[in-house]
Amino acid sequence: MSDGVREWLSEQVRSRVVGPDAPSRHAELFDTTEPGWFAEDAPIRRVHGDASMFVGGLRALLFQSLHPRAMAGVADHSNFRTDPWGRLQRTADFVAATTFGPASEAARAVRVVHRVHRRVVGVTRDGEEYAANDPHLLGWVHIAELDSFLAAHDRFGADPLVGDERDEYVANSAVVARALGVLEPPTTERELRDRLAEYRPELRGTPEARDAARYLLVQPPLPLAGRAAYGLIAAASISLMPVWTRWPLRLPWLPLSEATVGRAAGDAVTRTLRWAIVPADVNIAG
């Protein structure tokens, strides 16, 4: 592909994931001598700096929606429909700040989340109270993201984690989770699997979750030119979802095609994004 195509694709990703102030934000996070929360060779930086995060991020949104109280908070208070790119940019900025940025920026990002979460309180359609700063709900959001990012990096990452690196990644992520208010987050992959099993009885499909899945997968806020690439990301994300999640969210389950088409889609889109975006841009995109 030509340099012109590469520049165009890179700009398309930056404008949507990072936002219009990408150069200045890059300088704040990367052009500094202040140490961050993680060493340069920490596994969390390898995972969160890889193009597989585009697949893992969408998979995380689908997975998180299965907790009725967490989904109610999104449905009642989030502007993901009216300002989807703004929400994506804020999420990407949080991941970039806490993973790659200086400690002061990481702490500031956490304070912003806490401040926003204080307003996210309410009652589900079944009469259950929820609060975004509830440590239990924060714990679910954390492990759903962690499992999704790890699954996507295992399948589509350029340099998958092996051996002790996997536990190190979970332990790295626990640093951010504790700062957000998660109580005793998992620090090993085994603990992550055990914690997912503990939450399983609380998870179910709701009208809000299915509506969000349809919006994310069928009605993305993209021009026609971008829908083909997004479709590859969506196919790859669905292929990584556990079988038991398919019916609650009304997701298709086609084992043979997912093993071939889903994987091929993920390989194609992550290779293309990896080619188009220079390493620093991939990092800030999360």
Q: Which residues contact 106 (CB under 8 A, 6 or more apart)?
A: 36, 37, 97, 98, 176, 179
Q: Would you state the pLDDT for residue 252? A: 77
- The rounded Cα 84 to chain-centroid distance in angstroms is 14
Share of the chain above pLDDT 90, in %: 58
Residue type, 39: A
Cβ neighbours of residue 279 under 8 Å, at least 6 residues apart? Answer: 49
pLDDT at position 172: 98
Q: Would you state the structure tokens that stand for residue 10, as one six-digit string?
A: 């890179």
The pLDDT assigned to 217 comes to: 84
* Among 77, 197, 97, CA closest to 140: 197
Distance in angstroms (rounded) separating the CA atoms of residues 224 and 242: 30
Predicted confidence (pLDDT) per residue in 24-38, tens digit: 766 777 888 899 999
3-state secondary structure the chain: CCHHHHHHHHHHHHHHHHCCCHHHHHHHHHCCCCCECCCCCCHHHHHHCCCCHHHHHHHHHHHHCCCHHHHHHHHHHCCCCCCHHHHHHHHHHHHHHHHHCEHHHHHHHHHHHHHHHCCCEEECCCCCEEECCCHHHHHHHHHHHHHHHHHHHHHHCCCCCCCHHHHHHHHHHHHHHHHHCCCCCCCCHHHHHHHHHHHHHHCCCCHHHHHHHHHHHHCCCCCHHHHHHHHHHHHHHHHCCCHHHHHHHCCCCCHHHHHHHHHHHHHHHHHHHHHHCCHHHHHHHC
Per-residue pLDDT tens digits of the chain, which is 286 residues long: 455 544 544 555 555 555 556 667 667 778 888 999 999 999 999 999 998 998 999 999 999 999 999 999 998 887 666 555 556 677 888 999 999 999 999 999 999 999 999 999 999 999 999 999 999 999 999 999 999 999 999 999 999 999 999 999 999 999 999 999 999 999 999 999 999 999 999 999 999 999 989 888 877 666 655 667 778 888 889 999 999 999 999 987 665 555 566 667 777 777 767 766 654 444 433 3
- In this prediction, residue 130 carries a pLDDT of 95
User: What does the alpha-carbon distance between residue 89 and residue 128 come to, in Å, rounded to a whole number?
Assistant: 30
Cα torsion for 70, 76, 82, 87, to the nearest 10°?
A: -30
How far is the C-alpha of 233 from the C-alpha of 56, rounded, in Å? 9
Terminal Cα-to-Cα distance of the chain (whole angstroms): 24
Give the model's pLDDT for residue 282.
40
Q: For 259-277, how does the pLDDT look when each residue is reduced to its tens digit (9 = 90+)?
A: 566 667 777 777 767 766 6
pLDDT score, position 231: 81
**CA–CA distance from 208 to each of 65, 67, 114 (Å)?**
8, 11, 24
Structural contact between residues 64 and 144, judged by C-beta atoms closer than 8 angstroms = yes
**What is the sign of the dihedral through the CA atoms of 222, 156, 99 and 59?**
positive
Quote the CA–CA distance of 90 and 97 in Å, as a whole number: 10
